[in-house]
Each structure stands twice: as structure tokens, then as C-alpha cells.
Amino acid sequence: METPSQSKLSRLPDNTAMTQQQLPACQLYFSATMVFSIFFASGLFCLSMGILLILSAKNIQKIEINYTKTCGNCAELREDALNYDKKCTCSIPFHLAEKMQGNVYMYYKLHGFYQNLQRYSLSRSNSQLVGKDLKDVEDCAPFKMSNDGTPFAPCGAIANSMFNDTITLIYELNSAIQIQVPMLKSGITWWTDKYVKFGNPANANLSDHFAGTTKPPYWSKPIYELDPEDPENNGFLNEDFIVWMRTAAFPTFKKLYRRLNRIQHFLEGLPAGNYSFNIEYNFPVTKFQGEKSVVLSTLTWCGGSGLFLGLAYTITGTMAWLSSFVMIAIHYMLRKRRASIFYR
């Protein structure tokens, strides 16, 4: 029979290096030289990257045209509730002084449009957007159902406010001939958006699949008729729709609209010369004092023309170097003080 003392001893942990926390340990020790070297190397890397990113951004060719005021008179008619169905078109000529080499991308840019509001950004149905349940509109307030109880597809405030201006680029080949610049509406979305976050039902006619739903109130056509030229670019897989549904973090933002199809006269990019934007004005902005622009831009290995990343790297590298000099000064001051105390 086990004695009380033996029973008490049996509950003790085994006398091993693991249970007694006696495993060998390694503690990093950084000398002053190593710390200074790390700070200097980090600062040099950040400064180099920052300068490289800034120079790359400055090499980007870009033209931006604000067409809110140019189409202003027509816009006021378009946004008047009594004439909301009235179409408004305007043409904005411009001159390209030098060739835009390589791939060229067209963006629309909105000023003063807050896609980052919480109620706005949450007003969507992810199960509906992947084609699983078209009647799941519970999270789409205030754009869930029509007055007769028919669910919207797509539902929600984001989808209802989708950008719907039509922008075409015209090139003046000579004084007598103008041609439309070929632009692609495919390949403008993130891969994960198109193939993971959005989807249409497999092996189903879209118009039949969306039976029992209705278009959002601000849309002029149902989602299965967004692109009459390309049947594959309809439904929840329409790329303009997918781009719009990725909400922006700031009130001024641009979204990819088209990319240059490099054929015929545009094999090397956009040649220098006279151009014009033909715009069908549909998206209202004057009521919330917003503005709209169209942007043509090239890209570099690091992306677009934003200077933020380059400036962030440059400032970080500068701060690292300044910190290194401050720490070196403090280190030598303390060492000198210790030396004077030692020799007293």
C-alpha cells in the first residue's frame, strides 16, 4: 500500500531538463557596433528604396482631365430629378505632347466620394455576390428590396452607387480622320476578386438565374445585361462592377477603367498628337459637391505615380540614420564618463 509521503512525491514533475526548465538557453547579446551597423544598414536600404521609388514615380507619364466643369451645364440637367433619364454627352479635346510608351491605362477618379463609411461599406451580400443565394439581402439596407418586395440583385448601397459614366478615347489620325482608340475592358480586376469573391452560377442562363430579382434603383439595366458585347462579362463577374465593389480608403480615389489594346497604330503605346475624350455623363456628383476626372497613365515596376511609398521609405531611412548618430553620441559620452570615473 502506497504511503501518503510516496503519494505526494508521485505528483511531482519528472526530474528531467525539460520539466525542470534546465534546457540550454541562448540569449542574444548585441554589441554597440552591431546595433549601429544594423541601424546604418536599415537606413541605407530605406533611403535607397525611397529614392528609387520617387525617381520611378517621376518617370511615369500621366495626363489627368477634370470634366465636371466642362460637362457642367449638361451635368445640372442630368442630375435634375425631372430630367434624370436625359442622356448627356460631351467631348473634351486635349493634346499629347509626347508618346506614352508601353502599356497605358485609363482610370476614372472621384473627388469627395466617401466609400469608407461603415454603413456604406457593409451594405452588401457576399453570399449573393458569389451566386449562392440571390435572396440573401439582410445586410443590404437600405437597398434590400423594391417597393413590391422584390430583392435587388445586386443589393446594397455600394452596388446601387456604381460608377456608370461611359468614356471613350478618340485619336485624330489626321485632319480628316478620327479613330477610336482600342481599349480592353478585361484584365482590370484582382485575380482573387474575380475568381474567389464573385461568381455566377455554373451552367445556367443568367436571365433565368436572376428571375425573381430586380435591378438596383439607380441602374438603367439589369446586371445580366451590363455588357451586350461580351456575354462572359455579365452578371457578378462584370469587371467594371467588381472594380467598383472594392471600396476605397480615402474620399479621393481612382479606379481602373480600361487598358490600351496595343494593336495597329498603338503597338508601342499612345502616339503624340491630338485626342479627345467622349464622355456620356451619368454619374451624379454635384449634389455632394464632388468632382470627376479621367486619367491616362503608364506604370513602372513599382506601380503607379503615387509618391507616398517613396516618401515613406525616404523618411524612415533618414530617421534611422539620425537615430544612429544620436545613439553613437550618447554611447561615446557615457563611455567617456565611465572612463573618467574609473581613473579618479
Per-residue pLDDT of the chain (344 residues; tens, 9 = 90+): 555 555 555 677 778 888 878 888 777 777 878 888 888 889 899 999 988 888 888 788 889 999 988 776 665 555 554 344 557 888 999 999 999 998 999 999 999 999 999 999 999 999 999 988 888 999 998 999 999 999 999 999 999 999 999 999 999 988 788 999 999 999 999 999 999 999 987 766 888 888 889 999 999 999 999 998 998 899 999 999 999 999 999 999 999 999 999 998 999 999 999 999 999 988 988 888 899 999 999 987 777 666 788 889 999 999 988 888 888 888 888 877 776 666 55
- Cell digits of residue 20: 525542470
pLDDT value for 6? 53
pLDDT value for 20? 79
The residue with cell 480600361 is 258
Instruction: Name the pTM for this structure.
Output: 0.79
- Cell digits of residue 12: 511531482
Euclidean distance between the first and the last CA atom of the chain, given in angstroms as a whole number? 72
- Cell digits of residue 103: 502599356
pLDDT value for 63? 92
Residues 6+ apart with CB under 8 A from 7: none
The residue with cell 464622355 is 279
Nearest by Cα to 107 from 248, 255, 249? 255
pLDDT value for 129? 94
pLDDT value for 131? 87
pLDDT value for 324? 86
The residue with cell 439595366 is 221
Domain residue spans of the chain: 20-60+308-344, 68-299
Three-class SS of residue 269? strand
